[in-house]
């Protein structure tokens, strides 16, 4: 964003993209923006201006968690509190004021007839702000105030009447919080709102209110617009393009072009494009394989996914449950004989003793894998990139394909009400096939287990 702080005290001068956001006509202004566009700064400018221009205004700033609101609070406090600032001409600006001393003197020189009154206060009276840290509030001398809060316990916010509300990172705030808690606070004062965020698919309330804001007659009270990252003149095009090279197409369009991508919450994309041929029941002779093994016994399944190291295609598959461990060992041994090569096996929980049994199978290289939140995230991310960049192929294995398509970004809320996001199967849907495939791909890409297969991988054309 532009750091030009001329003529308005310590408040930044908005760039052209931010001016479009600030000039939205609706009562509920929805801005869907790319990363680092400057939406938060724009709304903070609007909040300060609202309090500077009108008396006794109550403005709330809502972020998903308090830490996010605190960052905005500190920045806005630096704009308006005891911070000497010089404008573009080198004129020293008032501490805590909204205009320069020179500008104030010019108005005073015009005489009382031209001074005017703003909400009962002479316009030449300088504004003074104070910061109540314990209340997370900035108080203006005209009795207006900005309060910075979080949405992690929405029902604790009930009861206030507001003149202006800012909901930042709205995609991470629940629909319940907006409809049942925040929006009713604007009723008696006919208050207004800024709703800001980066898209997160089409299955949340940010998308819904954005669509309402696109209606031409404005009857809904909403007005909306999309602003990509490159609408911020301070962002270099080459820096944005660097992210394009590192992200999937859908991720880039969502994060930097502010587009709502249907199904973007899915962990894996282009699954149908990856399907190539029929499942094999025995590996191609002379071709090396890596097998991912996710273990289960009663409720969950044990799943084996075998990846052809040369074609990068999942060709072998096994899935079974309700078997004793000795019987499972025999099934796994038979599968690894049909698809020879190393395996990556889940040793979490009950897996440890079973892995020892698998390690005793002759001529089998075993790589143990321990599931933790970080290791799970690592292998899922790696597999997601493989699909988005068309690196991996599948044969027609319905159980695997269905699980891949169901795996998505889920929202959970802890005891404190904080929202957390993680990739997982929907409630009641198994993820054993996904985990087996993710371990196989991890073994191939991250661990380089193809090096223990027969022959020289470069000579044999594996890459």
Secondary structure (3-state) at 43: helix
Q: Pick left, alpha or beta for residue 363 (phi over 0 → left; psi -120 to 50 → alpha; otherwise beta).
A: left
* H-assigned helices in 87-141: 101-108, 112-115
Q: What are phi and psi of 143, to 5 degrees?
A: 75, 15
CA distances from 249 to 252, 261, 390, 460 (A): 5, 10, 12, 32
Cα separation, 283 vs 280, whole angstroms? 7
- Say if pTM beats, i.e. exceeds, 0.75: no
What class has domain 271-452? alpha beta
Q: Pick left, alpha or beta for residue 447 (phi over 0 → left; psi -120 to 50 → alpha; otherwise beta).
A: alpha
Q: Around Cβ 310, how many Cβ atoms within 10 Å?
A: 18
DSSP string, 215-259: -TT-TTSEEEEEE-GGGSTTS-HHHHHHHHHHS-HHHHHHHTT--
Secondary structure (3-state) at 292: strand
> If one looks up domain 16-255 in CATH, what number appears?
3.40.50.300
Using the 8-state DSSP alphabet, how is residue 364 labeled? -
Cα separation, 340 vs 454, whole angstroms? 10
Domain ranges within the chain, ordered by starting residue: 16-255, 271-452
The candidate with the shortest Cα–Cα distance to 445, out of 427, 421, 429, 463, is 463
- 30 forms beta bridges with 195, 224
In 334-437 the beta strands, taken as DSSP E runs, fall at: 343-346, 366-369, 393-394, 408-413, 419-424
Q: Are the C-beta atoms of residues 100 and 93 closer than 8 Å to each other?
A: yes
Secondary structure (3-state) at 117: strand
- 147 forms beta bridges with 60, 137
Asked if domains 16-255 and 271-452 share a fold, the reply is no
Residues 6+ apart with CB under 8 A from 295: 302, 328, 345, 346, 350, 351, 354
Helix (H) or strand (E) segment spanning residue 289: strand 289-294
- 93 forms beta bridges with 100
CA distances from 443 to 88, 144, 331, 334, 406 (A): 58, 60, 21, 20, 23
Q: How high is the pLDDT of residue 213?
A: 87
Cα separation, 438 vs 436, whole angstroms? 5
Place of tokens 């206060």: 121
* Tokens encoding 384: 């997601």
What does the pLDDT profile of the chain (463 residues) look like in tens digits? 344 443 345 788 999 999 999 999 989 999 999 999 999 999 999 999 999 999 999 999 999 989 999 999 999 999 988 544 333 444 433 334 333 334 334 444 433 333 334 554 445 567 889 999 999 999 999 999 999 999 988 989 988 899 999 999 998 888 899 999 999 999 999 999 999 999 887 767 898 898 888 877 777 899 999 999 999 999 999 999 999 888 888 889 899 999 887 665 678 888 889 999 999 999 999 999 999 999 986 678 899 999 999 999 999 999 998 888 888 899 999 999 999 999 999 988 766 677 888 898 888 889 999 999 889 988 998 999 899 889 999 999 988 988 888 787 766 666 666 666 677 876 656 889 999 999 999 999 876 654 444 444 333 333 3
Residues 6+ apart with CB under 8 A from 66: 136, 149, 150, 152
């Amino acid at each position: 964003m532009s750091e030009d702080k001329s003529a308005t005290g310590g408040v930044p001068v908005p760039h052209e993209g931010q001016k479009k956001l600030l000039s939205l006509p609706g009562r509920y202004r929805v801005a869907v923006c790319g990363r680092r566009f400057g939406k938060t700064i724009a709304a903070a400018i609007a909040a300060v201006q609202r309090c500077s221009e009108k008396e006794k205004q109550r403005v709330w700033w809502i972020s998903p968690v308090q830490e996010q609101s605190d960052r905005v609070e500190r920045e806005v406090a630096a704009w308006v509190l005891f911070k000497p600032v010089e404008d573009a001409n080198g004129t020293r600006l008032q501490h805590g004021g909204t205009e320069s001393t020179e500008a104030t003197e010019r108005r005073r020189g015009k005489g009382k007839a031209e001074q005017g009154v703003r909400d009962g206060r002479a316009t030449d009276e300088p504004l003074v702000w104070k910061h109540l840290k314990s209340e997370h509030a900035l108080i203006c001398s005209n009795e207006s105030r900005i309060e910075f809060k979080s949405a992690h316990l929405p029902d604790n916010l009930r009861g206030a009447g507001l003149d202006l509300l800012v909901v930042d990172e709205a995609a991470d705030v629940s629909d319940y919080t907006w409809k049942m808690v925040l929006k009713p606070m604007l009723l008696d004062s006919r208050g207004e709102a800024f709703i800001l965020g980066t898209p997160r698919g089409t299955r949340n309330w940010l998308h819904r209110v954005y669509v309402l804001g696109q209606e031409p007659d404005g009857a809904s009270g909403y007005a909306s617009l999309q602003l990509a990252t490159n609408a911020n003149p301070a962002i270099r095009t080459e820096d944005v393009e660097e992210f394009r090279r590192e992200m999937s197409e859908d991720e880039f369009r969502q994060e930097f072009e502010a587009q709502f991508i249907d199904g973007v919450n899915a962990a894996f994309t282009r699954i149908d494009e990856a399907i190539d041929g029929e499942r094999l029941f025995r590996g191609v002779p002379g071709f090396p394989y890596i097998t991912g093994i996710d273990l289960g016994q009663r409720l969950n399944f044990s799943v084996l996914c075998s990846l052809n190291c040369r074609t990068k295609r999942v060709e072998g598959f096994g899935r079974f449950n309700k078997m004793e461990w000795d019987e499972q060992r025999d099934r796994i041994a038979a599968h690894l004989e049909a698809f020879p090569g190393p395996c990556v096996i889940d040793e979490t929980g009950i897996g440890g003793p079973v892995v020892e049994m698998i390690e005793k199978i002759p001529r089998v290289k075993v790589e143990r894998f321990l599931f933790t939140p970080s290791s799970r995230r690592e292998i899922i991310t790696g597999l997601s990139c493989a699909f988005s960049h068309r690196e991996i192929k599948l044969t027609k294995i319905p159980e695997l394909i269905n699980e891949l398509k169901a795996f998505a970004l889920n929202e959970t809320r802890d005891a404190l009400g904080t929202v957390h996001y993680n990739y997982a199967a929907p409630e009641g849907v198994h993820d054993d096939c996904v985990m087996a495939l993710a371990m196989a791909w991890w073994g191939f890409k991250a661990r380089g287990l193809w090096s223990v297969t027969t022959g020289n991988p470069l000579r044999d054309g594996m890459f």
